Amino acid sequence: MSKFIENQNWRYATKKFDASKKIASEDLETLKEAIRLSTSSYGLQPYKVFIIEDEAIREQLKPASWNQSQITEASQLIVFANYSNLDESIIDKYINRISQTREIPTESLQGYGDFMKAKILGLTPEQQSVWTAKQTYLALGNLINAAAELKIDVTPMEGFEPEKYNEILQLNELNLNASLVATIGYRHEEDSNQHVKKVRKSKEELFITL
């Protein structure tokens, strides 16, 4: 745990990446696995994760990201895209995945599937979109923590225009919406933010024990 706290003190939202440094494929696979193993409500993982390396695509996305340099300078750009609307087929696919992974009959999971459908499909499309978008933040947390352990920088970014991301990446056709962006790579030695003290509330101010 002491290492975990040390890693959290090391990390920060990198403003300037060293474009000459690329993440090794082995480390990238570790980050992908950390995202894949992330917790989510029901274990449903109602999102897709785009790992964008193509320079031309990133140049297109940069103006839709308030022209932030991290979009093109980072080793990779990650776009978390939540499902805009859920339907029975997505839940059925998840039930089949449980059945295959745990080697149990799908019939024994019908009650669980029906429960999920009643709770999730009973939401309005807007409520569904908000709920699925929240799940991407859980995945982001796993990415940040795994990257810090590997001494890889991550910058979570909400400063972008989802509608334009959806258009450029053709997400609407996939029933997806860009909910969250993160750039990953290595901090540039000229990024002065790495040298400033981390500002957080004290424990006394933050926590309330009842």
Residue whose structure tokens are 């003190």: 9
The predicted pLDDT at position 2 comes to: 74
Strand partners for 184: 76, 154
pLDDT band at 1 (very low <50, low <70, confident <90, very high): low
Burial classification of residue 147, based on how many CB atoms lie within 10 Å of its CB (0-12 exposed, 13-18 middle, 19 or more buried): buried
Q: What is the pTM of this model?
A: 0.95
Helices (H), the chain: 2-10, 25-36, 55-61, 70-73, 88-102, 110-120, 125-149, 162-168, 203-206
Which residues does 199 contact at the CB level (< 8 Å), separation at least 6? none
Q: How far is CA 123 from CA 61, 109, 119, 127, 171, in A?
A: 31, 22, 7, 6, 22
List, for residues 144-197, the tens digit of each pLDDT value: 999 999 999 999 999 999 999 999 999 999 999 999 999 999 999 999 999 999
Strand partners for 79: 50, 181
CA–CA distance, 132 with 86 (Å, rounded to integer): 9
Q: How far is CA 155 from CA 13, 71, 88, 92, 145, in A?
A: 5, 10, 35, 35, 12
Does pLDDT of 141 surpass 70?
yes
The predicted pLDDT at position 158 comes to: 96
CA–CA distance, 179 with 157 (Å, rounded to integer): 10
139 touches 145 (CB < 8 A): no
Number of Cβ atoms within 10 Å of the Cβ of 39: 11
Does pLDDT of 122 surpass 70?
yes
List, for residues 44-96, the tens digit of each pLDDT value: 999 999 999 999 999 999 999 999 999 999 999 999 999 999 999 999 999 99
The predicted pLDDT at position 193 comes to: 93
CATH number of 2-36+45-84+144-206: 3.40.109.10
Sheet holding 153-157, edge to edge: 47-52, 76-83, 176-185, 153-157
